[in-house]
């Protein structure tokens, strides 16, 4: 995946969120991702809360351990927790979704004790020296808690991006698989299956269910819907009765979204 180029400072929340999203994968390089997420998360928070901090200026940036010390020096620490202001007390309640009495949190609790311990373990694992041990779920939770600060709030978007990109790759593999399978079928067999699709036990049989769809692999109207039609474009997840191509929910959502963008573009071309 190509690197994302963002203006100075903006890339921090992006890199924090992306690393946190990847930490949920089974084959994730935990220590490296932890260090990346912690460093960029703390850079974003310190630059937003400590006036004149080096993190606000381009150039060589402080390490994660230095950033933790700077936060403690500025805002104090009690029982291993540093409470960092959010500066959101006067922020409006967005669309009233949290109720009339909602007040944004005035501070975010950063578990400096756990994060310092985790940083030491992660650095030791990365460099093959120092104390032995493994990062725990408590360490990951302390890192995830940083996302509550308005300088970040990036994990949700990053996870959605990761899911989307994974769905695109998976659909490309599935398309290639079905195309390879299709080569084993004669023209007569494809025609026979296309005519027999209505006989499938899972073919649409009631009025309010999406109709058969054109298959992007074989081109026949033989894609049997297996999911819902979220946006009303007649595009769903499904399986082709002819070539066996299986469109996933992710792939269907992407097509629905593209159709919606096209509709809006046609409605207002400017």
pTM of the entire structure?
0.64
Beta strands of 57-207 (E only): which ranges? 82-85, 107-110
Rounded CA-CA distance 108/128 in Å is 33
| pLDDT of res. 129 | 54
Per-residue pLDDT 10s for the chain (270 aa) are 445 566 678 889 999 999 998 887 765 568 889 999 999 999 999 999 999 999 999 888 999 999 999 999 999 999 999 999 987 654 444 444 455 665 667 899 999 999 999 999 888 766 555 555 688 999 999 999 999 998 998 898 888 888 777 788 889 999 999 999 999 999 999 999 999 988 877 666 544 556 889 999 999 999 999 888 878 888 999 999 999 999 998 888 888 888 888 888 777 665
3-state secondary structure of 101: coil
pLDDT at 76: 96
Residue 245 CB neighbour total at 10 angstroms: 24
């Amino acid at each position: 995946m190509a690197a994302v180029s963002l203006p100075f400072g903006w890339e921090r929340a992006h890199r924090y969120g992306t690393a946190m999203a990847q930490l949920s994968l089974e084959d994730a390089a935990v220590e490296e991702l932890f260090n990346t997420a912690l460093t960029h998360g703390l850079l974003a928070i310190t630059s937003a809360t400590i006036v004149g901090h080096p993190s606000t200026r381009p150039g060589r940036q402080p390490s994660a351990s230095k950033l933790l010390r700077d936060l403690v020096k500025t805002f104090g620490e009690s029982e291993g927790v540093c409470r960092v202001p959010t500066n959101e007390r006067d922020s409006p309640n967005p669309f009233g979704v949290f109720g009339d009495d909602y007040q944004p949190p005035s501070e975010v609790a950063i578990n400096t004790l756990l994060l310092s311990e985790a940083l030491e373990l992660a650095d030791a694992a990365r460099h093959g020296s120092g104390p032995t041990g493994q990062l725990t779920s408590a360490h990951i939770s302390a890192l995830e808690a940083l996302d509550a600060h308005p300088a970040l709030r990036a994990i949700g978007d990053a996870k959605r991006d990761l899911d989307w990109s994974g769905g695109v790759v998976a659909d490309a593999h599935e398309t290639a698989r079905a195309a390879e399978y299709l080569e084993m079928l004669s023209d007569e067999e494809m025609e026979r299956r296309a005519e027999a699709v209505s006989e499938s036990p899972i073919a649409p049989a009631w009025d309010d269910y999406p109709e058969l769809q054109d298959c992007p692999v074989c081109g026949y109207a033989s894609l049997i819907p297996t999911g819902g039609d979220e946006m009303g474009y007649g595009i769903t997840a499904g399986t082709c009765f002819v070539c066996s191509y299986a469109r996933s929910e992710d792939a269907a959502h992407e097509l629905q979204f593209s159709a919606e963008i096209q509709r809006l573009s046609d409605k207002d071309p400017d």
